[in-house]
Amino acid sequence: MNALGLVGGIVQAVLIVGGAPLLVGVMRQIRARLEGRAGPGVLQPWRDLRKLLRKEPLTPRGTSEVFRLAPLVLVATALVVAMVAPFVTTASAIAAVADLFAVVALLALGTVALALAGLDTGTAFGGMGASREMTIIALVEPTLLVAIFALSVRVGSTNLGAIVSSMLHEPALVISPVSLLAAVALSVVIIAETGRLPVDNPATHLELTMVHEAMVLEYAGPDLALVELASAMRLSVFLGLLANLFVPWGIATALTPVALIVGVLALVVKVGLLGAVLAAGEVFLAKLRLFRVPELLAGSFLLALLAVGASFFLA
């Protein structure tokens, strides 16, 4: 742990917790405008969270501690990743946790906790959503590991900060076949992991098509607020990883006020642009049938494998 990593971790945590709902609001507003609607405004997610936090907490009868602790686990894992991954600075508050395998394990832990909570309710929709989520995560997590591992081969380290630093100092790597293949694979993974179209529809109200929403139907009040905040944080985290792993310019490498401000602004701009592209693309996409989703994810896994192969042959 060094001073840059410690300060950067605090700044990143505050930025992602405070900015994640705004990112969701911006994406909803962009989608509304492209669909010819006025939209509720970019601050609506924060208004929704404030309203939910003021409500009385309710717990379905027959649920265990798994259901009650899942929102906390989901928020905690997203917060730890937000602090240790290279978003604003290349240094990490806890270098060991900034490892590729540790970060992916933390993100998977949050997903599994929510799936177990869906099963714990004993409802048909909760079990259905959990089953679908496990089907998706079985292909998403290996693809995520392999895609980023392809970048680590040239660096000789699975530390995310080291990978970003290498990309920062060797700009030619950004447009290499390895990076392009890994970027496409990781983009598909992000769409699936965050429940966006065409894998899932975050705005759906039809239970039979739900994946993520089916697992959180029984949550209400402060627990639902934590789930919604964690979902927004995970979206910001994934987009931040995609931005800095392949377009690392602007990230701070020194502990100076100017470098930190530039790092914050660069992250906001890059994540905002990726969010805007994702929201605009959803307007022109339809949700895939559930049985076609594994085909899409298998294709992304194949691209990640090709990226690994290319990293060895082109090294």
Whether pLDDT at 201 is above 80? no
| Angle between helix 221-246 and helix 3-34 axes, rounded to 10 deg | 100
Nearest to 55 by CA among 223, 295, 185: 223
Instruction: Kindly report the pTM of this predicted structure.
Output: 0.93
Q: What is the DSSP string of 90-143?
A: SS-SSGGGGBHHHHHHHHHHHHHHHHHHHHHT--HHHHHHHHHHHHHHHHHHHH
Nearest to 219 by CA among 77, 78, 69: 69
Which residues, other chains included, contact 282 with Cβ-Cβ below 8 Å and sequence gap of 6+?
31, 196, 197
Whether pLDDT at 3 is above 80? yes
Whether pLDDT at 206 is above 90? no
Predicted pLDDT at 74:
95
Predicted pLDDT at 315:
58
Predicted pLDDT at 1:
61
Amino acid at 123: T
pLDDT in tens, 34-44: 988 888 899 99
pLDDT band of 284, cuts 50, 70, 90:
confident
Whether pLDDT at 159 is above 70? yes
Where is pLDDT greater, at 85 or 156? 85
Which residues, other chains included, contact 32 with Cβ-Cβ below 8 Å and sequence gap of 6+?
38, 39, 40
Whether pLDDT at 212 is above 80? no
Whether pLDDT at 167 is above 90? no
Task: Identify the DSSP state of 288.
Answer: P
**Euclidean distance between CA atoms 170 and 151, whole angstroms:** 12
275 close to 26: Cβ distance less than 8 angstroms: yes
Q: Across the chain, what does the average pLDDT equal? A: 89
